[in-house]
Amino acid sequence: MYECPIGTLWLESSSGAHVFARLQSRSARSMKLDIRIFKDLEELSRAAAELFVEQAAQSAAERNQFLVALNGGSTPNRLFQLLATEYRKNVDWSKVHVFWGDERCVPPEDPGSSYGQARDMLLNHVPIPQANIHRVKGELDPAAASNDYWRVLKEFASPPLNWPRFDLVYLGMGEDGHTASLFPGSPVDVSEPTMPVIAQYQDRPANRVTLTPLVFNSARVIVFMATGEKKAPTFAEVLGDRYNPERYPAQRIRPDPGTLIWLVDEAAAAQLPEES
C-alpha cells in the first residue's frame, strides 16, 4: 500500500461499510478494488511509476518476465517520462515485454500513434530489447491489425488461456466512460481477444484495435489513471450502483482474480459519493 496525501481505500472483501463495497460485492468474485486519490497528475504519475517498478520486480522474480500493456492518450505522458528518467535504473528492462491495450490505426510516425508516443517518451530512453516491444501494426487496416496482434498475443499465451495473462495493464478513461478502444455502445459479449474498432472520439484517429475484456480481465493488476474535473461525473457513475457497461465500458474492467487500482486526482474524484 502507498501512503498518499489525500487518502487510500482498500477493499478486499464485503466489508459493507463503504459505498464502494457495493461495487466490490456486485463485481468479480476475487477482484480487489483499490482507489487512490492524489493531489495532482504529478503525484499520481509517481505512484503509477512505483507500481511499474514493483510489479516488474515481482513478475521477473516469479516468472522471469514482466508483461505490461500501456495506454495512449495524454494521461500516461508523465508516467512515461518518469520511467525514462528517475525510475529507469529501478527496472530490469531486459525482462520487460511491452504491449498496448489499444492502438490507433495510423503509421508509427503519425502523432496519433500510441506506440510512437511511448517509443519517443519512454522506450527510446531505456535499455529494453527491441524484440520485447510488441506493437499493434497501426499502419494496417483495423481488421488486419487486429488479426496480427492476436497472432502476437498467442506467442505469450498463459495456458489454459489463449492469450497472455498480463502482469500489469495501464488504462485511461474518456469523459464518455470509454476505456482502451471500448466505446459506449460497442459489443459487450465478445469472444475474441482483440477487436477492430471504428469510433470518433475528440479529434483522435477513428480506426483502432483494442484488446477486449476477455484479455483485460485476465490481468493480474490493472491500473486506471484519470484526472480532471471533466471526468468526475463519469468516474462517479463508473463506480456507482448502476452496472451499465454498454453506457460506461470502463465498468467492464474487472480482473478476476486480480487487482483493480484507480489512480485519480482530487478533481476527478470530486463527485464520488460520501462514505456511508
Q: Binding-site residue total for ligand 6PG (CB under 6 A)?
A: 15
Q: Which of 72, 196, 213, 249 binds ligand 6PG (CB under 6 A)?
A: 72
Residues paired with residue 209 on neighbouring β-strands, in sequence order: 103, 196
C-alpha 140/C-alpha 154 separation (Å) is 19
Pairing state between β 66-70 and 102-104:
unpaired
C-alpha 186/C-alpha 188 separation (Å) is 6
204 vs 220, beta carbon nearer ligand 6PG? 204
Torsion of CA 112, 267, 252, 45, to 10 degrees: 60
Report 89-118 residues binding ligand 6PG (CB under 6 A): 102, 114
Residue 74 binds ligand 6PG, judged by CB under 6 A? yes
Cβ atoms 35, 68 nearer than 8 A = no
Cell numbers of 186, please? 460497442
Residue 164 binds ligand 6PG, judged by CB under 6 A? no
C-alpha 239/C-alpha 198 separation (Å) is 26
* DSSP string for residues in 50-97: HHHHHHHHHHHHHHS-EEEEE--SSTTHHHHHHHHTTTGGGS-GGGEE
Residue 142 binds ligand 6PG, judged by CB under 6 A? no
Residue 124 binds ligand 6PG, judged by CB under 6 A? no
Give the shortest CB-115-to-ligand 6PG separation in angstroms. Answer: 10
55 vs 114, beta carbon nearer ligand 6PG? 114
Q: Which of 22, 88, 125, 204 binds ligand 6PG (CB under 6 A)?
A: 204
Q: Which of 172, 193, 196, 258 binds ligand 6PG (CB under 6 A)?
A: 172
Give the shortest CB-77-to-ligand 6PG separation in angstroms. Answer: 8
Give the shortest CB-267-to-ligand 6PG separation in angstroms. Answer: 12
Question: Which residues are at the interface with ligand 6PG (CB under 6 A)?
Answer: 71-75, 102, 114, 172-174, 178-181, 204
